[in-house]
């Protein structure tokens, strides 16, 4: 009985410790970036908090789809969500290919911390 109780406690914890998909929405178009397309997640912290951000490096085939989506929507607002939680709304100012960075200023920091923690928990990733 003790083993079953321990298993029930550990299993939910393990399910939340893996990188989830990023959901992007722009002009009514939804684009999902699955964890398999995320090559790296890096947090960029500077002395000036306004310049702090999170960089996602995206691999093929998702990088091509991201590029196509961004080219068609320059100047439009993009909504970035993670595991169903809003991270940030940002305006696309240039073509996004191979990755993107968004500012942590005005972002949902609780979700950003979860993204970083989930990335670090991915096997083979010790730093973000």
Delineate the domains of the chain, giving CATH numbers in brackets. Answer: 22-119 (3.30.1360.200)
Q: What percent of the chain has pLDDT over 70?
A: 77
- Tens of pLDDT, residue by residue over 42-67, are 887 766 666 678 899 999 999 999 99
Q: Distance (Å, rounded) from C-alpha 119 to C-alpha 4?
A: 29
Least confident among 8-17, 68-77, 81-90, 95-104: 8-17
- Tens of pLDDT, residue by residue over 12-31, are 444 445 889 999 999 999 99
- Give, in degrees to the nearest 5, the angle at Cα 50 between 102 and 46: 90
For range 100-124, the mean pLDDT:
84
pLDDT-based confidence at residue 109 (cuts at 50, 70, 90):
confident
Q: Distance (Å, rounded) from C-alpha 7 to C-alpha 128?
A: 29
- The token pair at 28 is 């009514």
Q: What percent of the chain has pLDDT over 90?
A: 55
pLDDT at 33 over 60: yes
Q: Distance (Å, rounded) from C-alpha 29 to C-alpha 9?
A: 38
Mean pLDDT over all residues of the chain?
82
Place of tokens 């939910």: 12
pLDDT-based confidence at residue 106 (cuts at 50, 70, 90):
confident
């Amino acid at each position: 009985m003790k083993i079953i109780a321990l298993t029930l406690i550990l299993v939910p914890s393990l399910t939340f410790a893996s990188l989830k998909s990023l959901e992007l929405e722009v002009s009514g178009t939804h684009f999902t970036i699955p964890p398999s397309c995320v090559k790296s997640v890096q947090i960029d912290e500077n002395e000036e908090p306004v310049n702090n951000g999170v960089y996602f490096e995206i691999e093929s085939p998702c990088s091509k789809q991201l590029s196509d989506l961004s080219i068609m929507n320059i100047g439009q607002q993009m909504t970035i969500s993670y595991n169903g939680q809003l991270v940030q709304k940002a305006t696309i100012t240039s073509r996004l290919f191979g990755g993107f960075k968004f500012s942590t200023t005005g972002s949902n920091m609780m979700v950003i911390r979860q993204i970083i923690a989930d990335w670090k928990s991915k096997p083979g990733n010790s730093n973000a």
